[in-house]
Structures are given as structure tokens and as C-alpha cells.
Structure 1
């Protein structure tokens, strides 16, 4: 009887210990799971904050870029048209007065167009291909360099926030080429497939050593911007060999 009672005691004790171990294991797993959930929430919050910060910065830069363009147009284009209109309207010749009135109508159209560009709603109404062609048209009209645009595939519909970041990235790539590359030719290729949008920007400028690009450079910022919208930024360049930039963005199929 004593041996039997001792065995029962040890069995009960062992079962109790196993229950404690199992309970401790379950509690530990619950704590680890909750910690991981908290970490994931913090990461998602940080990613969202970075995304919103990137959008705000891109919107601000687009507005600043637009204001620079508006100022230049007011000074170089509309200012000149107003001077000519004033001269013509002051003339005693009917044909000159008629020409002056026609210029006034043209000026009104130009001012309306500029006022629309100050509102970022134009981002939603313009396609990426039209935007790229407009930007290249500015370079052509300024006689800065020769340009080329090749498009393949259907036009992709992006939400406004992603399009803003992509447009600002394209603008910055062009600005870098204008400021530093001194190219004779700039070409754009836009290819759309079922899986992704690919935009290639190539110039035949002076090029540079990409290995010497610092972490605080504009190229690093452009890469981070593409990452915030789930895209990718690649650049290839060598001194004297121009620069190739590839922007890729996955397409979300409904």
C-alpha cells in the first residue's frame, strides 16, 4: 500500500509539473505573439508615416516647381504678350487694334492654364504619357536638347498619391539631367505589362561614378521614394557614358 501510494503521489506531482510547464509555455507563446503583433503594428505605423511624409514632400516640391514655371511664363511669355497687346491697342490702325484684342484673348487662355496648374487636381486628369511628353516638350522648346518618347502597352491608372510620387520622381530625374549631365539627347521609354509599369530614362550626358554616390544624395532619396510606393529605382552610369535610370512599379490588378 505504501509503494502504491507513493507511485500515485509521484504521478500526480509529475502531472502537476507538466501542467505548470504547459501553462508556462502557453503564456510565453501568447506574450511572444502579442509582442510580435505590437512590433508589426509599429512597423506598419512607421511605414504609413513615411509614406504620408513622402507624399507631402512630393506635393510641396511639385508646387514649388510649378510656381517656378508659372513665374517664368508670366515674365517671358505673358509679360511679352501684354506689352505687344498694349502697343497694338494704342495704335490708330484698326487691324492693329484687332490684333491686340486677339492677343488679349490668348493671354486670358494662358492665365487660365497657369491657374489650373497651381492646383494639384491636374495630377488626376493627366496621364503619365502626356505628362512625360509635356516635360520633354519644355526641353525641346527651350532648345536644351533633343528628346524621344516611346510607349508600349496600355495606359495604367494609378491612384493620385502614387502618381504624385512617380511624377515628382520623373521631374527630379530630368532636373538632375538638366543640371549635371549636359546631354544632347534624352529618351524615355514607358512599357506597361499586366504585372508592372516600367519607365526608362536615358541620356548621353557626362555620366558619373555611381559608387561614389553618398547615402544623403538625391539618388538615395529617389530610391526611397519609389520604395514607399512599392516600386524600385535602378541607376547605371559611368563617366563619359551617360546615365540610364529605370523606375518600376508593380500593377495591382482588380
Structure 2
């Protein structure tokens, strides 16, 4: 009998093979376990970062809502209520009907403006391009606004999406008026069957985007972008104005 045919030799090599396979499986399992553990830890860390970011955005939204309530309360108190008090006083001292009628007309216009700021009229039945145009009209008293559209579809946006886009434009105009030192604003709306793109550009002082810090306004815009499932980009440099581009898939 050949030596390799000896049962003891065969058993010995079988034992070696089994030990090798077990050792190999052990290391494979260890490597897989280690990889899974690292992947799990990375996912947990990413989820934690995402949750913290969402928490900050929610806090920002709450602050923005409170700020908006205070602004509306201020408008009601300082503007509308003030006008009504004047009307009451003039009525008590017997002011002319024509004068009272003029003051009432101003009060109605102010109430309409405040109501429009809260929710644009006929929101569900108006196209987004019409709503943005209505929003821009009062701003033309303070800025030269050039508004042009490229509408290639009859598809309408949900009312919730319309109001978010309008709020974005409002915030951009407020920022331009407060910080940009601009006198001209270009607003371009492009709406096709597949996507909607909105670009707002000013000729103001611009800024270094690498130094951009996320304040209340920018965080609030980011929250609106998430709600719209949209992406946005801010392009600017000192002395060359600022352009904000928003794009979303329909």
C-alpha cells in the first residue's frame, strides 16, 4: 500500500483541510463583521448628522414663522390699525366725507396688501408665472425689475409648491433690498413638462460665496428647497452682483 493511501495520512490531510477551511471562514467572517460594523457606524453617524441638520432647519422654520407673525402684527398695528384710529378720530370731529372715504380706501388697500402677503388670492387657480408677476409689481416702486418667462407647458403646480416658490422670491427680494445695494433685478422663470427653473439676478455689490454663512434666511430657503424637492445654487463675487438659481423636477 502506498504511503498516501494510508488511512492515517488521509485523515491527517483531511484534518488539515478542515482546519484551513475553518480558519479561512473565521477570517472571512471577521472581515465581513468588521466591514459591516464600520458601515453601520458610518450610517449611524450620517443619520445623526442628517437629524441634527433637520433639527436646525425645523428650528429655523419656527424662528422664521415667529418672525413673520411679528412682522404681520407690526403691519396690522402700525399701519392698518393706525389708519382706522385716524378715521375714527376724524369722524368724531366731523371731517368731510371725501376725506374719510380716501382714508377708508387706503385702509382697504393696506388690508389687501397684508392679506396678499399671507396667501396670494386665487392661489389654486392662478399660474405660477401670474402669481410671481403679481408679487413683483409692488417691488417695482423700489427696484427696476425685468421679468421674463419661458412657459412650455400647461401643467400647473400644486398650490403648496406655488406658495413655497413665492416665499422664496419674496425672501430673495428682501435680501436684495437690504444687503445687495442693487437697483435692477432680473427674474427669469422657465417651466417645461419636465422641470421648472427660476433665476433671480441682481446688479448689486455681490459677496464672496466662500465666506457665506447660513443665517435664518438661507436656512429657511434650504428648508423650502427640500419641501419642493429642488436644488439651488448661489453665484456671486464682490462687485458683480448675485444670481440665485432654483431647479426642480416636475
TM-score (norm 1): 0.68
Residue correspondence of structure 1 range 161-200 to structure 2 within 5 A: 164=164, 169-200=168-199
Q: Which residue of 2 aligns with 1:156?
A: 157
Q: Which residue of 1 aligns with 2:24?
A: 21
Q: Which of these residues, 88, 91, 94, is aligned with residue 94 of structure 2?
A: 91
Q: Which runs of 5+ in 2 are unaligned?
A: none
Q: Distance between the aligned counterparts of 1:220 and 1:79, measured in 2?
A: 29
Question: Displacement of 1:22 after TM fit?
Answer: 1.6
Question: Displacement of 1:57 after TM fit?
Answer: 0.7
Would you say 1:139 and 2:142 are equivalent positions?
Answer: no
Aligned residues: 237
SS of the equivalent of 2:211 reads: coil
Provide, for residues 25-51 of structure 1, a one-character-per-residue CA deviation record: whole Å limited to 9, x for no partner: 134314422542453244234324423
Query: Are residues 147 and 77 of structure 1, via their aligned partners in 2, closer, same or farther at CA, if it must alter by over 3 Å?
Result: farther
Q: For the aligned residues, what is the CA RMSD?
A: 4.3
SS of the equivalent of 1:231 reads: strand
Q: Is the 8 A contact 2:87 2:100 kept in 1?
A: no
Q: Which residue of 2 aligns with 1:9?
A: 12
Q: Distance between the aligned counterparts of 2:184 and 2:12, measured in 1?
A: 90
Q: Distance between the aligned counterparts of 1:86 and 1:249, measured in 2?
A: 52
Query: Are residues 178 and 37 of structure 1, via their aligned partners in 2, closer, same or farther at CA, if it must alter by over 3 Å?
Result: same
Query: Are residues 135 and 243 of structure 1, via their aligned partners in 2, closer, same or farther at CA, if it must alter by over 3 Å?
Result: same
Question: Displacement of 1:202 after TM fit?
Answer: 1.4
